[in-house]
Structure 1
Amino acid sequence: MTSSTRADMRTRLQDWLPKVVLAPSLAVTLVFVYGFILFTIFLSFTGSKMLPLYTFVGLSNYTRLWALENWHIAIVNIAIFASLYIVICTVLGLGLAIFLDQKIRGEGFLRPIYLYPMALSFIVTGTAWKWFLDPGIGLERIMRLWGWESFTFTWIKDNDMAIYTIVIAAVWQTSGFVMAMFLAGLRGIDNEILKAAQIDGASSLQLYRRIVIPLLRPAFLSAFVILSHLAIKSYDLVIALTGGGPGRATEMPATFMYSYTFTRNQMGVGAASAVIMLMTIAAIMVPYLYAELKEKH
């Protein structure tokens, strides 16, 4: 075998080896992610109950879905939760990032403290906050043991306020991650631009309002996409913290989909709700991906 032949075989091997290594994971992803997404869409147009049925019923599952009171409760709850969660996490994350960007002492100590909650699963976060907010063993009991007998905090048992306990727990877990994104964006800004603005007499407020924050647009967009995605699929946090209660006060589309698919044996309706959740995520992701690809081109 000549040296040119060996070199040609080596080149072909280098070209094919990554494809061979990635082929199994690609095949698994195609089947178990995109394949099951297509299967769920198909089920949403069938009369499936406890088991999949292949009788086509058109849009009747979607009609039944939008006639259900529980679904309307879930839509209102996700609107409240997602709007507060995204806004508070963004503002708090930006504030923490600006605070750490001042080159304060102890930054290396504070940064992992802010990031630590994101290392926990939503199940752990929900369980911990459930204990903390429980009036019998949590914050209310501790304050009363300290002598503040009139202190009450029963949001987790209140139908009108329980949704806000989920917001509190979710913000606690995710705001540090948003801070890390904004901090990376702040550290990526050219100092020459800031120095030029300071020489021109710009105050700190003007500096952030007119230069820094506009330059953080990619970080804002990334934070919005990630937080929206986490809000829509917030099943485990709700189950661990409130179980969807009290009553249906904290019902979310994700918990609705699970209960109707696996508890009430209404697989077609559950699949329809899953498709609507998928469309919501796609409505957020597609413009983001389009903007990113357009910017690269």
Structure 2
Amino acid sequence: MQASRFADRWLPRLVLSPTLAASAVFVYGFIALTGYLSLTPSRMMPRFEYAGLVNYTALFELDRWWTAAYNLGVFGALFIAISLAIGLALAVLLDQRIRAEGALRAVYLYPMALSFIVTGAAWKWILNPELGLENAVRQWGFADFTFDWLVDPDMAIYTVVVAGVWQSSGFVMALFLAGLRGIDDSIIKAAQVDGASLPAIYRRIVIPSLRPVFFSVFLILAHIAIKSFDLVMALTGGGPGTASTVPAVFMYQYSFTRGQLGVGAASAMMMLATVLAVLVPMMYMETKGTRRGH
């Protein structure tokens, strides 16, 4: 009996301890190392002499950084809003128990099975003015048709939005659909008996019930947007010029191609601060709302 109690108490801890140790070293340990490197005069190679906030001062004086931050704001806002809207609309559509639901769900989810590198490469071909959409439409007889967003500095960031939304909307749909299927049917049937229309039921009962799903989806999409490196590099390379450079691309370029490791580390810490600025208030509001609900 005593041995059984000992096993019940310590066996889970022993099983989890390697994962916890690996996370402590390879996640939080490297975060701490990056934070310290941002306070050092590191260039091509790490240097561990303390230099204060000089890297942060240099970072905030770079127009390229502010361009990257602005691009992230544009990309993040549009990517999250459009993915939420399309994902919710698709989930509501499939929730009507339509024919071929399984096939449609697989089609919508398929893009998420691809890596962002593949998505970026595919959309780079589709949006290439000489090979993709523009060329195809012109061959159909519309000689004046132009769609050169990929090479237009004012529009390049929106091509990243298009590719990101295409890949992530199906995943958002799956999360919302799971939430919809978890709602008690008796509530909907009672509203229908009272004469409520289907749009009114979704607007006033169903969608408000999906608040936890909205919270999870928003956090996932925000995380994808902030760390969007592979999609941007595969699609636009951060160009033309700096038109689609985002902080993740900035961090890579300054850390590994420009030989300014300290500035790159400072930009990485600013990205972490952005994640925390989004995560902490939302978790607080969600926790507060859950307590009020109880």
Say yes or no: TM over 0.5: yes
**Given the two structures, how large is their TM-score scaled by the length of structure 1?**
0.93
Aligned residue for 1:110? 104
Higher mean C-alpha deviation, range 158-167 or range 184-193: 184-193
Counterpart among 166, 185, 191 of residue 191 in structure 1:
185
| Deviation of the 1:10 alpha carbon | 4.3
| Deviation of the 1:292 alpha carbon | 5.1
1:160-239 to 2 correspondences below 5 Å: 160-239=154-233
Aligned residue for 1:57? 51
Aligned residue for 1:89? 83
**Given the two structures, how large is their TM-score scaled by the length of structure 2?**
0.94
| Larger gyration radius, structure 1 or structure 2 | 1
SS of 2:41 mapped into structure 1: coil
Question: Given residue 78 of structure 1, which amino acid in structure 2 is its aligned partner?
Answer: L
Residues 157-190 of structure 1: CA deviation (Å, up to 9, x unaligned):
1000010000000000000011111111111111
Counterpart among 11, 23, 27 of residue 17 in structure 2:
23
Residues 170-224 of structure 1: CA deviation (Å, up to 9, x unaligned):
0000000111111111111111211222222222222122111111111111111
Residues 62-92 of structure 1: CA deviation (Å, up to 9, x unaligned):
1111110100110110000000000000000
Residues 225-271 of structure 1: CA deviation (Å, up to 9, x unaligned):
11000000000000000000011110100000011111111111111
Question: Given residue 88 of structure 2, which amino acid in structure 1 is its aligned partner?
Answer: L
Residues 44-77 of structure 1: CA deviation (Å, up to 9, x unaligned):
1111111111222212211111110100110110
Identity of aligned residues (%): 59
Give unmatched runs, 5+ long, in structure 2: none
1:33-48 to 2 correspondences below 5 Å: 33-48=27-42
Aligned alpha-carbon RMSD (Å) = 1.5
Confirm whether residue 262 of structure 1 aligns to residue 272 of structure 2. Answer: no
Higher mean C-alpha deviation, range 194-203 or range 264-273: 194-203
Give unmatched runs, 5+ long, in structure 1: 1-6
| Deviation of the 1:31 alpha carbon | 0.6
Counterpart among 87, 95, 99 of residue 101 in structure 1:
95
Aligned residue for 2:6? 12
Confirm whether residue 251 of structure 1 aligns to residue 245 of structure 2. Answer: yes
CA distance in 2, matches of 1:192, 1:26: 43
Count of residues paired in the alignment: 291
Question: Given residue 97 of structure 1, which amino acid in structure 2 is its aligned partner?
Answer: A
SS of 2:130 mapped into structure 1: coil
Aligned residue for 1:4? none
| Deviation of the 1:287 alpha carbon | 3.1
CA distance in 2, matches of 1:207, 1:20: 49
Moved over 4 A (4+): 291-294
Confirm whether residue 241 of structure 1 aligns to residue 235 of structure 2. Answer: yes
Aligned residue for 1:3? none
| Deviation of the 1:284 alpha carbon | 2.0
SS of 1:183 mapped into structure 2: helix
